[in-house]
A and B are shown apart, each in its own frame.
Chain A
Amino acid sequence: MQPGMRTPVARKFAKILVVAALTACSTADGPPTLTVWHAWGGAELTTLKALVRRFQDQRKDVKVLALQIPHDKLLDKYIRSSAANGGPDILIGDNDWSGSLAESELLASVFDFAPGATGSLFPPSAAEAFPPGVMHALRVGEKVYAWPESVETVVVYHNRNLLAEVPSTVPALLDAAAKLRVPDGYGLVFNTSFYFFAGYFLGGGGTVFGPDNRLALDTPGGRRMLGWLGAITRAPGVLATNDYGKADSLYKQGKAAMIVNGPWALADYKTALGPALGVAPLPRLADGAAPAPWIGVKCLMVNANASAAQRKLARAFLAYMAEPAQQLALAEGAGHIPARSGVELPADSPLRVFQAQVRTGTPKSADPRLKLVWAPLDRAIQEVTVHGKDVGASLDRAQRTVDAQLAAVEANR
């Protein structure tokens, strides 16, 4: 190595050090930063940016840094970084994350309903701003580790060019689907995965956890509803599939008159169908029973590693996001259904249909046990709908599998 070559390298290195030192100094001198990790894109991101700007207009003493991370990497990245005492101050995600993250001690408690408990971000009285069902979905024992932002559930989207009104009962809907003549398509595309089927499974008498909070998949009501699903998948004019992408594409291409889907699809469907897009509640079962689809909750969660000062800032941001003005902005801009009670949406907003559907829904619990249920139930559904297997045997197998897995997880503690 030539002696002369060392000088430029050393100079460059010195420059980097100086720049790094200056950057560090500028951060230390500026307002404290509240870091938010999220996976929002498109209209959601635009709305979030606008709300962050508005927050900063109100609070000049804090800088909010919202970082977008791909949805499929967000949870893993959060777990890895917060387990290493790092991570953001706030994580925006689904309520069923909160149970597992709390189990790993990676979240700060938002509410503690135990008598006389202290140390949570908000007093229990602050929970009264939200419907009891929403709080129920977030509860992990006596505590809640997530602050609700919006709720999600499924409804029926229809193509008005093919079907003007969605019938109010399932038999009438199936009849309409059979009679519709959709070129190279279907009257109804129905996603058979348990998330979408749950509305009828739970509304028609099936259960996941019984009244004693024990696993109760294989019940007479559950068997009846799984058999019912098996029957409707063979109904004329119906495409039953567990392929979300396929069902979604068919509806967007005008090859399906109806589809059951959630509010996340609303913007895409508006673009694809324009004024032909219609939204209706899930039709009732033949016996008049109302469907009880899952109510998911999008939440803001606070990192357990956040210092007391950062928690105070996070608390202010959480409270701000639940104010009626922000809830309305999220509804209008991002298509989010307000989690807060009493937020009145415009009369012509399709989100009102979702709001109405939420009233009959089932809160999707943050209970970490729930995540073990999906795969065995999806398998049972596949066995019955695709392979024509016996309903009782399939549900019994699902019950035994989840029971064994719960026991294994419990023994692992």
Chain B
Amino acid sequence: MAAQYTTGPLGPLPGAEKRSPTEALAYRFILPAALVMGVITVYPLLYGIWMAFTNFGPQHIRHQNPRFVGLQNFVDIVTQAQYLDFSFMRILGFNLLWTVINVAFHVALGVGLAMLLNLDGMRGKRVYRALLILPWAVPTYVTSLTWRNMFDYDYGAVNLLLKGWGVVGPDWFKSFWTAFGAVLTTNIWLGFPFMMMVAAAGLIAIPRDYYEAAALDGAGRWGRFVNVTLPGLRPTMIPAIILGFVWTFNQFNVLYFVSRGDPLGQTEILITQAYKLVDPMGLYGVASAFALIIFFILLGFTVVQLRVLKAVGEGAR
């Protein structure tokens, strides 16, 4: 069986340079999937990069003969050319605020609820778990439209509830902070179940002996949480946080359906703004440049996150 492994903690095994028949078979198995991925993922990605440097518009759809414009699309976006009618830096700032606050809530709520569900002797765990996963199981746009209606000024459930308590609810999408609160609430509702599931799986993987050892060392609840639970959750939560960051950064449905950018475009994020460059403006080249900028922003943040978390992890050892 050892021959199946080409590398290990000690480096390549003797004779591993030669490709084994098992490995060759494995490559043949993944070849169809790799070809499909190449066609449906890699090709559009490369095509998008090419479009970002052209003046691609509706008139080029049939003959694919746009003009090369170099970095002009990127310059237009960053310097806020008048036809764009928005400030890239302002939207980027909002996009980051939106992402960081959301992910913080998702992780805090997800880990908290996972720990509650992990308590010994708790009855009805399966029922609670199923109920808490529900927001994740419902299609995002359905949830978004439901929340949109719930935040309606006249007839929405939120304002009716507030009215019952003697409070006059706001016109949620009329000012920035109330609109932000509305979209944030919706996305927290949508996002915490994923983190909860990941955290629940991570908690199960932490050996109980560690908690017992920590207790013997005099650690209280907080001490056990900080010194055992958090480091134990790290391997499972880091990929989840990075995924959550990328998903939330590009969370189109919530912003598009709940706030619709209101008030006056103040709750637009980069991806909703990029969509508008295609429909109705038909500026495919500029939209591709926009998408490429988003890609590099996310790539940068992912690399930074990984390095910071790695450094924190090494420091904690």
Contact = CB atoms under 8 A, between A and B. Distances in A.
Interface in A374-413: 374-376, 379, 382-383, 386-387, 400-401, 404-405, 407-409, 411-413
A79 B61 contact: yes
Nearest to B173: A386
Nearest to B67: A412
Contacts of A407: 83
Contact of B82 (A304, A372, A404): A404
B280 A374 contact: yes
Nearest to B69: A412
B169 interface: no
Contact of B59 (A103, A374, A386, A400): A103
Contacts of B281: 372, 405, 408-409
Interface residues of A, number: 33
A273 to B, nearest CB: 19
A382 to B, nearest CB: 6
Interface string A231-250: 00000000100010110000
B145 to A, nearest CB: 8
Contacts of A351: none
A405 B280 CA distance: 10
Nearest to B66: A412
B126 interface: no
A404 B283 CA distance: 13
A404 B81 CA distance: 9
Contact of A376 (B58, B81, B85, B283): B85
A83 interface: yes
A77 interface: no
B264 A383 contact: yes
Nearest to B265: A379
A106 interface: yes
Nearest to A79: B61
Interface in B72-103: 81-83, 85
B283 A412 contact: yes
Chain A facing B: main interface SS: helix
Contact of A405 (B57, B58, B83, B174): B83
B83 A100 contact: no
A104 interface: yes
A372 B280 contact: yes
A105 interface: yes
Interface string A78-120: 0100010000000000000000100111100000000000000
Contact of A100 (B58, B149, B283): B58
Contact of B83 (A104, A243, A368, A404): A404
Contacts of A408: 81, 83, 281, 283
B59 A104 contact: yes
A179 interface: no
A401 B85 contact: yes
Contacts of A245: 149
A124 to B, nearest CB: 26
B285 A375 contact: no
A387 B263 contact: yes
Nearest to B285: A412
A208 to B, nearest CB: 14
A408 B283 CA distance: 9
B77 to A, nearest CB: 12
Contact of A413 (B57, B264, B265): B57
Nearest to A406: B83
A411 B281 CA distance: 13
B62 interface: yes
Interface string A291-311: 000000000000010000000
B221 interface: no
Contacts of A246: 149, 152, 154-155
A59 interface: no
B253 to A, nearest CB: 13
Contacts of A401: 82-83, 85
Given A100-B282, A372-B281, A405-B83, A412 B61 contact: no
A243 B259 CA distance: 11
B174 A386 contact: yes
A245 B283 CA distance: 30
A266 B122 CA distance: 55
Interface in A213-257: 239, 243, 245-246
A371 interface: yes
Interface in A155-172: none
Given A404-B82, A412-B285, A106 B61 contact: yes
Contacts of B302: none
B55 interface: yes
B125 interface: no
Interface in B228-275: 262-265
Max chain B Cβ within 10 angstroms of own Cβ: one of A368, A405, A411: A405
Contacts of A386: 174, 263
A382 B264 contact: yes
Contacts of B81: 404, 408
A20 to B, nearest CB: 19
A374 B264 CA distance: 14
A408 B285 CA distance: 12
A83 B59 contact: no
Nearest to A106: B62
Interface in B2-56: 55
A384 to B, nearest CB: 11
B163 interface: no
B310 interface: no
Nearest to A80: B61
Given A103-B59, A106-B62, A371 B283 contact: no
Interface of A: 79, 83, 100, 103-106, 239, 243, 245-246, 304, 368, 371-372, 374-376, 379, 382-383, 386-387, 400-401, 404-405, 407-409, 411-413
Given A368-B58, A375-B276, A401-B85, 5 more contacts: A106-B61, A106-B62, A372-B280, A386-B174, A386-B263
20 contacts: A83-B62, A104-B59, A105-B61, A105-B63, A106-B62, A243-B152, A245-B149, A246-B152, A246-B155, A379-B264, A382-B263, A387-B264, A401-B83, A404-B85, A405-B83, A405-B85, A408-B81, A412-B283, A412-B285, A413-B57
Q: Give me the 5 closest cross-chain CB pairs, A-B, nearest first.
A: A408-B83, A404-B83, A404-B82, A371-B280, A104-B61
